[in-house]
Chains A and B, each alone.
Chain A
Amino acid sequence: MRGGITRFAARDDGPAARVAGFMAHLRESGFKLGVAESDMALRALAATHPEAEAVRAALKCVACGSAEDWARFDALFDSYWRNGGRVRTKAVPSGSSMQHTRNCRSAAEGQASGSGTADSPDTNGDGESEDGGDGRLIASTIRNLMKKDLREVVSPEDIRQAERVALRLGAALRDRRSRRARLSAKGARIDLRRTIRASLATGGDPLRLARKRRPDRPVRIAALVDVSGSMTLYARPFLAFLAGLMRADAASDAYLFHTRLVRITEALRDDDPLRALNRITLLADGFGGGSKIGAALAQFAATYARRFVNGRTVVLILSDGYDTEPPEAMAQAMARLARRGCRIIWLNPLKGWRDYAPIAAGMAAALPHLDLFAPAATLEDLAALEPELARL
């Protein structure tokens, strides 16, 4: 037997408490675990031999629930059981649970002093490594260019208006038919099951024919908004639109991109619209900086799109297409995204200008993959798109 497993970091009493401590450690690192899992972990341990490797493997298949968890587990396991109380540095915040774990405060200190309003008691990054006293270090991503408080950019009225627009757009897109049949009085096909069931009342003669048809199914919208420097002017309506969309449609998804891509779906679903914006502000460090659209889209296609985008998804890209990278990257990313079977709509605020031609190299590279390329600079423009979307 290897030594590590018996040298416990915390002086807990009994294996149950130690396992509970470990589960808490995982939970803090973004694992979704409840009491039931702790119980399951104990039962799993009871069914395995007490060898270090067996214990690791057993806890692994109980605690993990996704490929990301699976990849991170071993490091977390080692940091908890084998480091004998030293500072743990492996607790990388997961992408999906983005509440208070992403500490951009320390990195942003220098530049943020001007606008410094993005603080709320629950997101004070400096306190993070001290609280609890067990010296957990949370990795921070230093990619900050400048920090802007989105609450100054978007007002609650905007969001309410945007919510209405988003609802209407969502309804316009809702035209994919389900393969799952539903009972319907005017359906084209006969629902045999119900017809026969009803015929029993009439001695086996199917007098009343129950019909079924394939109902319309809502599409999912995945919206990607460019918040790079060149888009600052248009950020207001677009962010309001995102916030509205998230509140109007529970199945939609939202992302921001500039030099990298951030998923803001969870943050935007916050009950309080202002707090939601505050949370995005924390995520969107780099707001107003340069743009790497191709790279951001490639990242989207390779990661989130594989999970959230399918044939029933509409990908909505709101960007001016000014990319600082070679257009090949863009073409490749778009081709890859299009292969997911989704429809892609690109709304470009510049297209509304007179004499506009998509000569920005990135924009030109993306064009062949688009189902719709339309102008949109304000919320009104977005609302006006309704008939076009319905025709898609």
Chain B
Amino acid sequence: MTCMEVIADYGLRSLGIGERLLPRTDFTLCQHFTLIGSGMIWNIYFGVLALAAGFFLSITVAFGKAARNPVARRASTWFIFLFRGSPLFIQFFFAYFAFLSLKQAHPAFDPLTSAAIGATLVLFLNTSAYAGEIFHGALKSIPKGDLEAADAYGITGWKRFRRITFPTMLRLGWPAYTNEAIFLFHATALVFFSGFPAWQQRGDALYYANYFADKTFNPFVPYPILAMYFIMLTLAVISIFGAINRRLTRHLPPERQTRLRFRARQFIR
């Protein structure tokens, strides 16, 4: 079997398209690359969806935590504590079993027990909490002068939010938010190891890497391939977020433009 045939058979295996049975004996390098790469579709799916939806909730949470209204403040603070204070791994387990009981209560909850919906929901809430804390920190560090200047110019209310508060908060929080995005993508690898079942062996990259390592008892091939894919994904995230960062800071003099650096500082899980 040539490598092209393997790609045709297994390239979209993680979506259930192509060969039904996974390879069982005589594993080739090509099979490793193809299947693990195929699994990356899921990692990207989880990450992109949770990140896109989480962006909006995280800003809501950030403003909620900074709000004067005690109910909004309490709720946001608790939300952040709940998701940042416990391991994502346990959150997945708990959510899956909770979804199972919800399902028995009402059929409307049926889709939640699938990884595609349920795990995305957990990741979405989780990243919202982490990013909410980041943006809350950024909100608190907006220079007083900026807001006072806005007041002096008579810019208030929605306009002030749209023109001053929001863009400044985004700019200040962006480097940390980039980190959160990277670690969110890493966290997607946990999904199929934490209760959520892999339908018809449609799993993510780590699921297949683990499959190969179990079958061949040789971790030195599948895991480096997985690492390579993830490093590529990480670099892609950094370049996309870097481009946005350049846009956010384009009005600043060059020496004040922060360059994004990939560092595991504040907000990884």
> Do A and B associate with each other?
no
Question: Which A positions have Cβ atoms within 8 angstroms of B?
Answer: none
